[in-house]
Amino acid sequence: MLTERHLQIFVALAEEQHFGDAARVVGITQPPLSQGLRRLEALVGAKLFERGSTGVELTAAGAALLPFARRALTSIEELHQAAVARDPEGPEIRLGLAPEVPPAAGAAVAAACGAAVPGSRVTVVSAPTSSLTSQVSSGRLTLAVVLHPTVLDGLDAGPVQLLPTWALAPSGSAADAVVELKKLGGLPVAVRPRAEAPAARDLFLDTLAMLRPAGGTVVVTDERAALAMAAAGQAIVMTADPSLAAPGVERYQLAGDPLPTRLRLVWARTPFELDVIAQLTDALVTG
């Protein structure tokens, strides 16, 4: 299906005649830009650019299609402006947050979204990473903070941010506040269902098995259930939330931080300028 992003890539390449420059104009990196161009050429059934050592030039087919692409982008922009103008409450920014995003970090990103577009309404939903990427792809969400790695399937993404992860374990599980993962008791580590974020969960489990061969895992529905199990002396919780706590549960810093929580912003249509995307990404950490 031909999308607005395909048109943006086509016009930017035609005007900049350079992959790196075009990627910066569109607000993405070169790999997704090249992928988008290949998809566009497959959709129209023609080669649109000739690639050289210094850049790219339009083919005859590309030159013929360029005016139509520009008009289409102008029409889409007019549609967006009309929709905003008719909305008395201002534009809506729909933000999705994976459950693993600490509350303070999620709040910071939401606040940064609102500050980026004065007068906007920011609505927030929480859902597993696999659901969030699907909702962003379909346009139901403007952007989302998801676990990394994940299958992006054409979505654009900001840089990966690593949040430190602590272990919450029953009191007395270790003598020191900083502990190696393999020495932290023999209880299972509470994990959420794999289907919520398959790639990220596999990376977590592989790293956990390598650093802590004994103990295994137990599947929980959410972090509250995991914390309750830790308080009952039945599990260990890995969390990036510095505020998560319960009586009878101690917080341990893992030596070397071997299991950081990896988060990144994803979007289908660039919602903000690149400097604003950078501010939103920074909010994940400062929050």
CA-to-CA separations, 141 to 144, 150, 202, in angstroms, rounded: 7, 17, 26
State the Cα–Cα distance between residues 10 and 26, nearest whole angstrom: 10
Pair of tokens at residue 49: 């650019």
Which CATH class, in words, describes the domain spanning 4-85?
mainly alpha
Which fold, 165-259? D-Maltodextrin-Binding Protein; domain 2 (3.40.190)
Domain ranges of the chain: 4-85, 92-161+262-286, 165-259
CATH architecture under which domain 92-161+262-286 falls: 3-Layer(aba) Sandwich (3.40)
- Positive or negative, the CA dihedral 23, 28, 32, 38 is negative
- pLDDT tens for the chain, 287 residues long, are 788 888 888 888 988 888 888 887 776 778 888 888 888 888 889 999 998 777 888 999 989 999 998 888 888 777 766 655 555 556 788 999 999 999 999 999 999 988 887 778 899 999 999 999 988 888 888 999 999 999 887 888 999 999 999 999 999 988 889 999 888 878 999 999 998 999 999 999 999 999 888 889 999 988 889 999 999 999 999 999 999 999 999 999 999 999 999 999 999 876 667 677 788 888 877 77
Note whether 30 and 19 are within 8 A (CB). yes
Cβ–Cβ < 8 Å for 169, 219: no
Q: What is the pLDDT of residues 85-142, one digit of tens each?
A: 555 556 788 999 999 999 999 999 999 988 887 778 899 999 999 999 988 888 888 9
- pLDDT value of residue 27: 66
Decide whether 4-85 matches 92-161+262-286 in CATH topology: no
What is the spatial distance between Cα 100 and Cα 114, in angstroms, rounded to a whole number? Answer: 22
How far apart are alpha carbons 2 and 36 in whole angstroms?
A: 10
**Using CA atoms, how far apart are residues 11 and 67, in angstroms rounded to an integer?**
9
